[in-house]
Amino acid sequence: MSAAKHKIVKVGVMPLDEFKKRTIAIAKGQYKPKRGEPKIWFRSMKSLAHVLSEENQALLRLIMETHPKSIKELEGVTGRTANNLLRTLRMMENYGFVKLREGEGGRGRAPLIPEVIYSAAEIEVDFC
CATH number at residue 15: 1.10.10.10
**Distance (Å, whole) CA 103 – CA 112:** 6
Q: What is the pLDDT of residues 70-91, one digit of tens each?
A: 999 999 999 999 999 999 999 9
Q: Give the percent of the chain with pLDDT over 70.
A: 92
Residue 2 lies in a domain: no
Q: What is the pLDDT of residues 92-120, one digit of tens each?
A: 999 999 999 988 766 667 789 999 999 99
pLDDT band at 5 (very low <50, low <70, confident <90, very high): low
Range of the domain at 115: 8-125
Query: How many structural domains compose the chain?
Result: 1
pLDDT of residue 103: 82
| Among candidate residues 50, 52, 55, 109, the one with its CA nearest the CA of residue 79 | 55
pTM of the model: 0.83
